[in-house]
């Protein structure tokens, strides 16, 4: 399993939010490139970039994304946030992303997602943001009335780059992961699983690795120093 630092963009800065709430910003790095350089220096090679403003329709951060993706060749980036049409997928890939993360429209419009998976095979990662058991959309502000197990079944036939499963109820709280959820997801899908939400300790990462997760996205615990980034990089980068 690989550990993946999160670089969440808001108003041109790299931030960390508690529970995804814009009113609960806990960390801010004014230049996102500084965050990337810090994690690179420790040995991380894969990064998860999210345009929070685009996800919530509050603007966009294309310049920051371009600077991150153009900084150093050979790195792997998954990029998401407000990706809801074909043109945006093409733009993100052209900017240098290895994978494009699609959330809201992927969950709400399965025929479109099927078309995108066919057009960009192995390059689309579907974000299944889970609150309790319900998959939520629109920057975690809207319910889909769909159980995560049903969503997994619907996605299994598609040629995807993976599933990014975020336990929203754990996000940013540094209280540990929802291990039963992630175990169920790994059992219920043939796709790579990227786990997110609540990663706080090396034991969390080891448990996710044992569960069969392909990757774990880490945010708050790295940025606050709760989790020893150097130790994480040694074992999981």
Q: Tell me which residue of 34, 24, 31, 68 sits closest to 49, measured CA to CA.
A: 68
Cα 194–chain centre separation:
7
State residue 43 phi and psi, 5-degree precision.
Answer: 115, 0
Mean pLDDT of the chain: 91
pLDDT tens series, the chain, 237 aa: 999 999 999 999 999 876 566 666 778 889 999 999 999 999 999 999 999 999 888 899 999 999 999 999 999 999 999 999 999 999 999 999 999 999 889 988 999 999 999 999 999 999 998 888 778 766 556 555 578 899 999 999 999 999 999 988 776 667 789 999 999 999 999 999 999 998 999 999 999 999 999 999 999 899 999 999 999 999 999
Which DSSP letter does residue 237 get? -
Rounded to whole angstroms, the Cα distance separating 54 from 85 reads 13
3-class SS of residue 69: helix
Query: Is the CB of residue 187 less than 8 Å from the CB of residue 165?
Result: no
State residue 54 phi and psi, 5-degree precision.
Answer: -65, -35
User: What pLDDT does 57 receive?
Assistant: 87
Q: Tell me which residue of 76, 75, 141 sits closest to 103, measured CA to CA.
A: 141
Q: Tell me which residue of 171, 221, 227, 219 sits closest to 47, measured CA to CA.
A: 219
47: number of CA atoms within 13 Å, CB side?
Answer: 31
Rg (CA), the chain: 16
Token pair in block for residue 40: 């690179």
User: What pLDDT does 21 receive?
Assistant: 63
Query: Is the CB of residue 147 less than 8 Å from the CB of residue 181?
Result: no
In Å, what is the CA distance from 157 to each residue of 95, 181, 191, 194, 231? Answer: 28, 21, 10, 18, 37
User: What pLDDT does 8 receive?
Assistant: 95
Rounded to whole angstroms, the Cα distance separating 54 from 101 reads 13
Rounded to whole angstroms, the Cα distance separating 51 from 145 reads 25
User: Does the pTM of the predicted model rise above 0.85?
Assistant: yes
User: What pLDDT does 144 receive?
Assistant: 56
Rounded to whole angstroms, the Cα distance separating 204 from 183 reads 13
Active site residues: 8, 129
Q: What is the second-level CATH architecture of the domain 2-236?
A: Alpha-Beta Barrel (3.20)
- Per residue in 75-107, pLDDT (tens digit) is 999 999 999 999 999 999 999 999 999 988 998
22: left (phi over 0), alpha (psi -120 to 50) or beta: alpha
Rounded to whole angstroms, the Cα distance separating 44 from 37 reads 10
């Amino acid at each position: 399993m690989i550990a993946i630092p999160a670089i969440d963009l808001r108003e041109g800065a790299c931030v960390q939010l508690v529970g995804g709430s814009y009113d609960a910003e806990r960390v801010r790095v004014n230049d996102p490139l500084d965050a990337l350089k810090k994690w690179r220096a420790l040995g991380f090679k894969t990064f998860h970039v999210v345009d929070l403003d685009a996800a919530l329709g509050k603007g966009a951060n294309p310049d920051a994304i371009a600077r991150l993706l153009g900084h150093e060749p050979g790195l792997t980036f998954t990029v998401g946030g407000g990706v809801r049409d074909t043109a945006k997928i093409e733009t993100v890939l052209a900017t240098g992303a290895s994978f494009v993360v699609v959330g809201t429209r992927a969950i709400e419009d399965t025929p479109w997602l099927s078309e995108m998976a066919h057009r960009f095979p192995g390059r689309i990662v579907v974000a299944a943001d889970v609150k309790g058991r319900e998959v939520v959309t629109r920057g975690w502000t809207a319910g889909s009335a769909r159980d995560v197990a049903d969503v997994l079944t619907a996605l299994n036939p598609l040629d995807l780059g993976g599933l990014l499963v975020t336990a929203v109820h754990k996000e940013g709280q540094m209280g540990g992961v929802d291990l039963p959820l992630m175990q169920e997801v790994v059992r219920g899908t043939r796709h790579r699983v990227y786990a997110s939400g609540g990663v706080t300790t090396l034991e969390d990462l080891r448990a996710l690795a044992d569960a069969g997760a392909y990757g774990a996205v880490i945010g708050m615990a790295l940025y606050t120093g709760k989790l020893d980034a150097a130790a994480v990089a040694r074992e999981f980068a």
